[in-house]
Amino acid sequence: MSEESVERVRVAAEAARVASRRLALLPRAEKDAALLAMADAVEQASERVVAANADDVRRGEEAGTRANLLDRLRLTPERVSAVAQALRDLAALPDPIGEVVRGSTLANGLQITQVRVPMGVVGMIYEARPNVTVDAAGLGLKSGNAMILRGGSAAASTNAALVDVLRGTLAERGLPADAVQLLEGGRDDVRALVTARGLVDLVIPRGGADLIQTVVTTATVPVIETGIGNVHVYVDAAADLDMARAIAVNSKTHRPSVCNAAESLLVHEAVAEEFLPKVLAELGGAGVLVHGDERTATFAEQAGAAYDAVTDEDWAAEHLALEMSVGVVPSLDAAIEHITTYGSQHTESIVTEDRSAARRFVAEIDAAVVMVNASTRFTDGGEFGFGAEIGISTQKLHARGPMALQELTSTKWIVQGDGQVRA
Amino acid sequence: MSEESVERVRVAAEAARVASRRLALLPRAEKDAALLAMADAVEQASERVVAANADDVRRGEEAGTRANLLDRLRLTPERVSAVAQALRDLAALPDPIGEVVRGSTLANGLQITQVRVPMGVVGMIYEARPNVTVDAAGLGLKSGNAMILRGGSAAASTNAALVDVLRGTLAERGLPADAVQLLEGGRDDVRALVTARGLVDLVIPRGGADLIQTVVTTATVPVIETGIGNVHVYVDAAADLDMARAIAVNSKTHRPSVCNAAESLLVHEAVAEEFLPKVLAELGGAGVLVHGDERTATFAEQAGAAYDAVTDEDWAAEHLALEMSVGVVPSLDAAIEHITTYGSQHTESIVTEDRSAARRFVAEIDAAVVMVNASTRFTDGGEFGFGAEIGISTQKLHARGPMALQELTSTKWIVQGDGQVRA
């Protein structure tokens, strides 16, 4: 790790710390007014942002980037407006800071109160999608945190343009511009950021498995892991099969490249013969390659779905593509066991009309989100009503599932007394 | 790191995982009955535990261990009873598991509910005090977690005897003995434990600065840091000076070797002349060495307190002894600035009758616990009414301040629908 990187991060983090002390004390009205002003400024700068984005897209095309990644990267005036709208949505949400979480009066008369406070300085390391830059800045401001952003190099020009607009707005309003900073150096900067103990309170990596693994294994700053989803839909013996088909197909095909898309379909043997032909025909029709077990093979052929034999690697894989591992299980127990073995504790859904099966699945499946009769695609901060989202935590510490304002806070105990001492 | 250590931790963690799946589903009544049975068993085994402890103490004496450390290590029948009582106190507390944290019904009819669930497998790395072994096992059981305990080698015989009693009780009641395991290998076992990603959900180090630093810098498993306390008492211009004296002396001398003991005393210049002679006389009388600034020097001499000139290292130090850094500040702002520079974000206390000064101190000091007119010694899970405590978090992620049952839980989102899919 180069000395320049360590120094660059130190300077950024110290400026962020100073900014964070201002932010921590800002009343809600000032934060919301700044968010609305940032939204207007982003929309007014739409032409400039789209032009910077076109540079990034051109570089991506020249480098042979895949079409779906280029699509994630690309901004249009409509997408810029949607990015700005997220800031307005955040302004409308309650302020998490100052919320009283719990409290009591002790036997000795001391009053103890636990209240939400900002984390302080938060590092965010992410990949291509430039809306994350604005979402993270907005979530940071509303939750009173100074954000050090490290976007992917593929979106460098777009991110620079967006952060310039956001910082300009903060400065115009007399707020510290260093509440939002962009770290533009190479990989050494990432390493310096995740090892800046005492300077940075939290780092959130958001992206592919490699990025998250790298951050988690090198970080000495507290980290919240996000995002790997080997997500299952289990169709129970007592499922409404039309509902099950709609949920399985929606979970797999609505947006296959994201972490809450389903990767595996487990079907109770009691309904396999009736259910599989229909669902496989629909999946096949949507262009899904089926990795099936032996009992699935015949149905896949009948349904005309592209098929190969499922392997252990398939069961463990996050395909993030139009591929699905499909198998028949003899019981609810077997489904729970399979999900416990192969799942990534992100989102798991059961389709059933059997109350007892639903209760067992909900109790025994260990995952961030457990669903009954719903598409796995609903695991999302926006869908949950959180406004923007900063990522989906797949770990158990601090936050689990979609993360937004509340997950960017810590707490502080306030103890009020009249001179109490310990005997 | 030796292969034997990695293998030993893998075997322990996998057995703990199996046990944790049982624990997660245990009704409160079964957990409480087991805690009461464990308390009885510990008391019945008192003679055996005290004998094992005598071996540890003898080894410590032969190795020249300091008297205060030997005192922390030593168990008497009375102390064994106190250890057992902590288990009974835990049985009386509400079950954190299953608590509904928040929830709502979304516009599309989905009902989302966030409920508390156990972490799963928790590693605990700690030093000499053998009561931590029983507290951690009890907190783990009540919160549905399997605990892998790594106590200090100084308490090896005591811990082995205690864990044997606890495991025996679990087994007798048909509960998984592997819910409580003791890791008895060398330092390689610690390294294997803190890098057992996917096998261990959380590691809590509790002990001195070296232990915590080692764990934090080598861990790849999520960690909660505990315990360094450079704790301040600030005596404001508007303080009740008798109250201030009692709080300063109690915070420093009640138990100087623990993290919530005060290390620094800051006094507003408006009351320095009246306050310092009295408090320094009392501190001096209690055997406290005063590291004082220039303005403190004269008063220390008058008061007959042992004195030397305070250094930057003193201001930053966690003395954990009868030593206190003392200085005069010109204003509340200067006090806040000093604490922000030197504090460790553990516990900070202001003594004042001025409502506005108290409000500013509470808002602007960034610490796990901020107090008004109370001794810093109250930062403690037992004092806060949490039953036993697993440590005091000085980080901002997940838990901050005293940690007990709630801090050993994660959450799970439950989403209940009627076939909702995303459009």
For A198-225, write each residue's pLDDT tens digit.
Answer: 899 999 999 888 888 889 889 989 899 8
What confidence tens digit (pLDDT) does each residue in B172-187 have? 999 999 999 999 878 8
Percent of chain B with pLDDT over 90: 86
Check whether B378 has a pLDDT greater than 90.
yes
CA distance A420 to chain B (A): 5
Quote the pLDDT of residue B129.
85
CA distance B419 to chain A (A): 5
User: What is the Cα Rg of chain A in Å?
Assistant: 24
Q: Say which of A398, A402, A412 has its CB closest to residue B398.
A: A398
Q: Mutate one of A412, A416, A418 to test the B interface: name it (highest B CB count within 10 A).
A: A412
| Domain spans, chain A | 3-225+395-416, 231-378
Check whether B228 has a pLDDT greater than 90.
no
Quote the pLDDT of residue A225.
86
Cβ–Cβ gap B420/A375 under 8 Å: yes
Quote the pLDDT of residue A227.
73
3-state helix, strand, coil in chain B (%, to 5): 50, 20, 30
CA distance B28 to chain A (A): 15
Q: Say which of A25, A364, A413 has its CB closest to residue B369.
A: A413
For helices A209-218 and A187-194, what crossing angle results, to 10°?
50
Angstrom CA distances, A181 to A1, A13, A124, A340, stand at 21, 9, 10, 40
Cβ–Cβ gap A397/B421 under 8 Å: no
In chain B, what residues touch A363 (CB-CB under 8 Å)?
Answer: 24-25
DSSP-derived 3-state class of residue A183: coil
Q: Is residue A247 within 8 angstroms of chain B, CB to CB?
A: yes
Q: B313 exposed, middle or buried (CB, 10 Å; 0-12, 13-18, 19+)?
A: exposed
Given a cut of 70, the residues of chain A with pLDDT beneath it are none
What confidence tens digit (pLDDT) does each residue in B28-49 have? 999 999 999 999 999 999 999 9
Q: Are B254 and A421 in contact (CB under 8 A)?
A: yes
| Complex ipTM | 0.93
Tokens read off for B157 = 């015989």
Cβ–Cβ gap A120/B366 under 8 Å: yes
Q: Is residue A282 within 8 angstroms of chain B, CB to CB?
A: no
CA distance B387 to chain A (A): 13
Higher pLDDT, A288 or B303: A288
Pick the closest to residue A405 from A419, A420, A422, A391 (CA basis): A391
Which stretches within B93-239 are classed as H helix? Answer: 131-142, 156-172, 187-194, 209-218
Quote the pLDDT of residue B207.
84
Q: Are B274 and B267 in contact (CB under 8 A)?
A: no
The phi and psi torsions of B241 (rounded to 5 degrees) equal -75, -25
Tokens read off for A216 = 């988690």
Q: Say which of B254, B373, B419 has its CB closest to residue A417.
A: B373
In chain A, what residues touch B243 (CB-CB under 8 Å)?
Answer: 418-419
| A residues 71-130 lying closer than 8 A (beta carbon) to B | 104, 106, 110, 112, 114, 117, 119-120
The phi and psi torsions of B84 (rounded to 5 degrees) equal -65, -40
Check whether B369 has a pLDDT greater than 90.
yes
Could you give the CA distance from residue A261 to residue A38 in angstroms, rounded to a whole number? Answer: 32
Domain spanning A231-378: CATH superfamily: Aldehyde Dehydrogenase; Chain A, domain 2 (3.40.309.10)
CATH class of B3-225+395-416: alpha beta
Tokens read off for A257 = 């490249």
Check whether B66 has a pLDDT greater than 90.
no
Instruction: Strand A121-126: give its sheet, edge to edge.
Output: A180-182, A146-150, A121-126, A202-206
- Determine the average pLDDT of the residues in B155-164: 97
Q: A361: Cβ–Cβ under 8 A, 6 or more apart, which residues?
A: A234, A332, A335, A336, A348, A350, A352, A370, A372
Check whether B90 has a pLDDT greater than 80.
yes
Q: Say which of B117, B373, B422 has its CB closest to residue A378.
A: B422
Cβ–Cβ gap B366/A197 under 8 Å: no
* Burial A138-165, CB ≥16 within 10 A → b, else e: bbbbbbbbbbbbbbbebbbbbbbbbbbb
Q: pLDDT confidence of B226, banded at 50, 70, 90?
A: confident
Element holding A325 (H helix, E strand)? strand A323-329
DSSP class per residue in A235-295: E-TT--HHHHHHHHHHHHHSSTTSTTSEEEEEEEHHHHHHHHHHHHHHHHHTTPEEEE-HH
> Closest chain B residue to A423 measured between Cα atoms?
B254
Q: Is residue A397 within 8 angstroms of chain B, CB to CB?
A: yes
CA distance A56 to chain B (A): 30
The phi and psi torsions of B405 (rounded to 5 degrees) equal -60, -50
